[in-house]
């Protein structure tokens, strides 16, 4: 089709049609789904650069959050509880019965979002919206969320989140796309070279919950301040790598909300570079350490180290860590955040 953005039906969930929106601009072509507001395809220079599935059935059976919008609180909350305004909020323990992960049993990744094409010009955009009810998964407040995917300048994908609540609540929205810049899904990402503009990580305990410490990366396998291959130190004898089975850690970008050049990634195999910009204080760098899903794109299984995630975020367990940047959204306030992925050769 010649249009810059169009919609097609992609199956049915609970009697409701699921739509797949295809956007194109310059060297980029993207596809996003109304199920989970998931990024299903991201082609740069004619090759797909992300993992995922060819059919809706793959996403319905997925356990790895492929391309999904994650919320109400992305990442982990210790023991599935936090205190807000003197009230204990129990949001459940959907991760091995010991903690809360990515919004709970039915997080935003498993919801059908309302979708609308909001720009069909040279920078096409689709806006997804969702209402999370007061008490849903244990969270307080009726939370209204939007996520807009927009292709910018022919070489960038911009994700803009907004949210408002009628009660004080906590919120942490992110995207869980697995990138593989090689353009070959069967290849791993260990040779991909990455730079992360972070001097600290938030180390974790055996439950992958932050200890509260900000630990310098200098002299550790977590020092990505100068570009290096993902695989160079991933097997180093380091306690944090052992706990995460590789990299699965929050890198501290800053304490304020200014826009930053957070991460650069470059594939020596394809020559493709991706630069990530965000106004959030952290990014979870995850190297697909436990990925193992049947029937990915082309029928090929998804496996360990086949992709990497850059989950821009507030820090994990921030509702229980008063020294971390606050994820609290006050009643009536408007939240807005932008993350952008820019591609080049």
Q: What is the full DSSP assignment across 50-117?
A: B---SSHHHHHT-SS-TT-EE-SB-SEEETTEEEETTEEEE----BTTTEEETTSTT-GGGSBPEEEE
Question: How far is the CA of 58 from the CAs of 11, 40, 141, 184, 310, in angstroms?
Answer: 12, 11, 32, 19, 22
Catalytic residue among 137, 293, 311, 340: 311
Using only the alpha carbons of the chain, give its radius of gyration: 19
Residue 311 designated active-site = yes
Please give the Cα distance from 210 to 321 (Å, whole number). 9
| 181 vs 183: CA distance, rounded Å | 5
Q: Is 261 a catalytic residue?
A: no
Catalytic residue, chosen from 100, 176, 185, 340, is: 176
Q: Give me the DSSP letters along 106-165.
A: T-GGGSBPEEEEEE-SSS-EEEEEEEEPTTGGG--S-EEEEEEEEEETTTEEEEEEEEEE
**298 burial type by CB count under 10 A (0-12 exposed, 13-18 middle, 19+ buried):** exposed
Q: 149 Cβ partners below 8 Å, 6+ apart? A: 21, 23, 30, 32, 39, 125, 126, 128, 157, 158, 159
Active site residues: 176, 311
């Amino acid at each position: 089709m010649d249009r810059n953005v169009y919609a097609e039906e992609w199956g049915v969930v609970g009697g409701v049609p699921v739509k797949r929106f295809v956007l194109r601009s310059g060297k980029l072509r993207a596809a996003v789904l109304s199920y989970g507001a998931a990024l299903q395809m991201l082609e740069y220079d004619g090759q797909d650069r992300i993992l995922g599935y060819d059919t809706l059935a793959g996403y319905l059976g997925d356990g790895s959050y492929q391309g999904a919008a994650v919320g109400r609180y992305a990442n982990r909350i210790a023991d599935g509880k936090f205190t807000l305004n003197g009230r204990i909020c129990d949001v459940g323990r959907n991760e091995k019965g010991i903690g809360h992960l990515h919004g709970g049993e039915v997080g935003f990744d498993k919801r059908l979002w309302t979708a609308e094409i909001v720009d069909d010009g040279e920078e096409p955009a689709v806006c997804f919206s969702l209402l999370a009810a007061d008490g849903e998964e244990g969270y307080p407040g009726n939370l209204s969320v939007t996520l807009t995917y927009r292709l910018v300048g022919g070489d960038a994908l911009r994700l803009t989140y907004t949210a408002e609540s009628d009660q004080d609540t906590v919120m942490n929205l992110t995207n869980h796309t697995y990138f593989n810049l090689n353009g070959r899904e069967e290849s791993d990402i260990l040779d991909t070279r990455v730079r992360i503009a972070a001097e600290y990580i938030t180390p974790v305990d055996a439950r992958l919950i932050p200890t509260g410490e900000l630990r310098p990366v200098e002299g550790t396998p977590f020092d990505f301040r100068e570009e290096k291959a993902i695989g160079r130190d991933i097997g180093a004898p380091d306690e944090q790598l052992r706990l995460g089975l590789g990299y699965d850690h929050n890198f501290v970008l800053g304490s304020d909300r200014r826009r930053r050049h957070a991460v650069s990634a470059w594939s020596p195999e394809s020559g493709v570079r991706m630069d990530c910009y965000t106004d959030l204080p952290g990014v979870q760098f995850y190297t697909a350490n436990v990925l193992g899903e049947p029937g990915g794109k082309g029928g090929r299984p998804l496996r360990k180290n086949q992709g990497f995630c850059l989950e821009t975020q507030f820090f994990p367990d921030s509702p229980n860590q008063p020294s971390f940047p606050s994820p609290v959204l006050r009643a009536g306030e408007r939240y807005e955040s932008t993350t952008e992925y820019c591609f080049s050769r």
